[in-house]
Structure 1
Amino acid sequence: MKMIDRIMGPMEWALLLGLSILWGGSFFFVGVAVAELGPLTIVALRVGLAAVALNVLILLRGQRMPLDPGLWAAFFAMGLLNNMLPFSLIAWGQGVIASGLASILNATTPFFTLVVAHLLTRDEPLSAGRLLGVAIGFAGVVYMLGSEVHAGTESHAWAALAVLAGALSYAFAGVFGRRFRTLGCPPLIAACGQVTASALVLMPLALGVERFWQSPWPGLATWTAVVSLALFSTALAYLIYFRLLERAGATNLLLVTLLIPASAILLGMWVLDERLEWRQLAGLGLIGLGLLAIDGRPWRWCRSVAWTRGKARREGARH
């Protein structure tokens, strides 16, 4: 699957910024809800409410969900990799670490995706530039984790590893999700199918394991965070994601990974009074540098500048 590289206009940049705020906000909403609800309950409510919203949207558009058993098997597999595992792991990790740090670690998803795609597919090999970007990004992660262990905060290190495991699950989902195109499944149907399948599994699991009704009833702030997480950071974010993918291509869409930590960190600092240490910010810098190396734009910009200056010198020499 060849990545599309298109020039983005004002509308595409607006969609990209909006998507980064919605997905960055998901870390903030989980950070609020995890104070009063268990991670499974948060995730079950997230996918359950998002499934209701997307199913209603499909009905309003005059469409119907397919009944093919093979397609629903793919929905359940995609739901496991793209919703159940990563949402649960990240929510559990955020019970220990700050939402800003969780968003930084989640920014490693493109690195994992490139490695998984290289190992499991034939048409997405790792180029030298992308391999360098992966190495730089993982160096930032190792630095952050090593600092946590050295500081004696092993619980934080395990929570960080859980978030990284969620990012790895997203990577497998990205590779697995390629098959929906060959199955002739429209993006909206695929998004609705995976969250619906996830809700069918997680709702009874959360009810049986965490039994949130036996704990003190959550406050208005928690319920507002959960509803916002489902409707805005999941259902609406999926709609923007697929529209942006169609308009701007997968390569441009990778830029959202650079913007998500910014919105998550700012929300965490302003509302949750979170603070990131300098080593975590240094790790973010390395991850950002790695993502830029993967994207390739800095190298293309440098080559363009060098070519333009060389051309100007050659023309000056002629005169």
Structure 2
Amino acid sequence: MPVAVAAAAAFTGIQVGAAMVATRYVVADVGPATLALLRYAIGFLCLVPVLAASGTGLRCPPRDLVPIALLGIVQFGVLIALLNVGLGTVPAGRAALVFSSFPLLTMLVAATLGRERLTWAKTAGVLLTIMGVGLALADRLGGAGRGWTGEATILLAALCGAVCTVLYRPYVARHSALAVGAIAMLASVAFLAGLAAAEDPLAALPRLGLAGWAAILFIGVGSGSAYVLWLWALGRATPTRVTVFLGLGPVTAILFGALLLDEPVGWLPLAGLVAVLAGLRVALGAPPAQSRSRNSATSAI
């Protein structure tokens, strides 16, 4: 995998972890659907000047426009709404651990649909990454539980993302990542507006303080930039190789907690970080020549 593609995927993984911490901070004040709406409304607004500067329009053949819009509704609308609901009851660390199943689910979905060959190296790399995430969060998963509804909701969100990740790739190969991301995001904003109306956002938003708005802006701007990089990476690497970088998300949450909230970092998180990096190395080992040729041809379309 080229360094630029790996860096783009890594940035997305880091942003996921940071956004989970920020979401946990503000979701109780605005509601899950309203927060998701604000997240991607801001994200789309961030894309507008980039679209104008690059000359990239939102025009797309109808045969591709409808599927991209539907994928966007699931990826941005359904996934994030489910994730926000889960984060309303599940601590950020535990939520990040559950969501780290994303790479494994992506690998299984891709293999089931015949989009990617399941190899021992990929399987070992993804499982090692998930084990590392578990080690990194092991000392933060204690405490009284509230059942498994929140965790199940987050797992369903990860499954939605895995399916979309696999199904997006043909459209990213045919069109620019920027156009695909903008169309998908705009479709999700329209969908989320209907869900958010039930939460009465006009009553909740004026009560937000400066810190709450700062968290929302951070989530929105980060999501807009990270998703374009995510799609760009998907156009140049297989879904499993891209999504394995989501293992950096929980580790990021731990590091941000230590830096911003003075939370202690023990040896388990450090051991988890080593395992995550080892898993990335195993899963991202050099592909065979046939696979490299196929990926290059796809990127050229």
Relative to structure 1, the CA distance from residue 213 to residue 288 in structure 2 (aligned partners, 3 Å threshold; closer, same or farther) is same
Higher alpha-carbon deviation: 23-32 or 33-42: 23-32
Alignment size in residue pairs:
286
Q: Identify the match of residue 202 of structure 1 among 192, 209, 229.
A: 192
Q: Identity percentage over the alignment?
A: 26
Q: Identify the match of residue 251 of structure 2 among 228, 237, 262.
A: 262
User: 1-side partners of 2:79 and 2:284: how far apart?
Assistant: 24
User: 1-side partners of 2:238 and 2:117: how far apart?
Assistant: 19
**AA aligned opposite 1:228:** F
Higher alpha-carbon deviation: 130-139 or 103-112: 130-139
CA RMSD of aligned residues (A): 3.8
Matched-pair contact (CA < 8 Å) for 1:101–1:276: no
Q: Identify the match of residue 49 of structure 2 among 32, 44, 56.
A: 56
User: 1-side partners of 2:10 and 2:117: how far apart?
Assistant: 29
Matched-pair contact (CA < 8 Å) for 1:45–1:203: no
User: 2-side partners of 1:296 and 1:55: how far apart?
Assistant: 37
Q: Show the counterpart of 2:212.
A: 222
**AA aligned opposite 2:118:** L
For the residue of structure 1 that corresponds to 2:28, the secondary structure is coil
- 1:175 and 2:151 are equivalent in the alignment: no
TM-score (norm 1): 0.73
- 1:163 and 2:154 are equivalent in the alignment: yes
Relative to structure 1, the CA distance from residue 176 to residue 253 in structure 2 (aligned partners, 3 Å threshold; closer, same or farther) is closer
Tell me the CA shift for residue 65 of structure 1. Answer: 1.1
**AA aligned opposite 2:188:** S
**AA aligned opposite 1:192:** A
- 1:114 and 2:107 are equivalent in the alignment: yes
Relative to structure 1, the CA distance from residue 139 to residue 250 in structure 2 (aligned partners, 3 Å threshold; closer, same or farther) is closer
User: 1-side partners of 2:269 and 2:89: how far apart?
Assistant: 15
Matched-pair contact (CA < 8 Å) for 1:86–1:166: yes
Q: Show the counterpart of 2:26.
A: 33
User: 2-side partners of 1:120 and 1:200: how far apart?
Assistant: 29
Relative to structure 1, the CA distance from residue 238 to residue 289 in structure 2 (aligned partners, 3 Å threshold; closer, same or farther) is same
> Deviation digits for residues 65-104 of structure 1, max 9, x if unmatched?
1154333311222113321122111111111122233222
> Deviation digits for residues 160-192 of structure 1, max 9, x if unmatched?
22111111111100111023046x221110010
Q: Show the counterpart of 2:296.
A: none
Stretches of structure 1 lacking an aligned partner (at least 5 in a row): 298-319
- 1:124 and 2:116 are equivalent in the alignment: yes
Matched-pair contact (CA < 8 Å) for 1:24–1:260: yes
| 1:11-90 superposed matches below 5 A | 18-66=11-59, 68-90=61-83
User: 1-side partners of 2:208 and 2:64: how far apart?
Assistant: 37
Matched-pair contact (CA < 8 Å) for 1:34–1:42: yes
Q: Show the counterpart of 1:307.
A: none
Tell me the CA shift for residue 283 of structure 1. Answer: 8.6
Tell me the CA shift for residue 230 of structure 1. Answer: 0.9
For the residue of structure 2 that corresponds to 1:36, the secondary structure is helix
Q: Show the counterpart of 1:234.
A: 223
User: 2-side partners of 1:23 and 1:290: how far apart?
Assistant: 18
Stretches of structure 2 lacking an aligned partner (at least 5 in a row): 287-301
Tell me the CA shift for residue 151 of structure 1. Answer: 7.0
The structure having more radius of gyration, on CA atoms, is 1
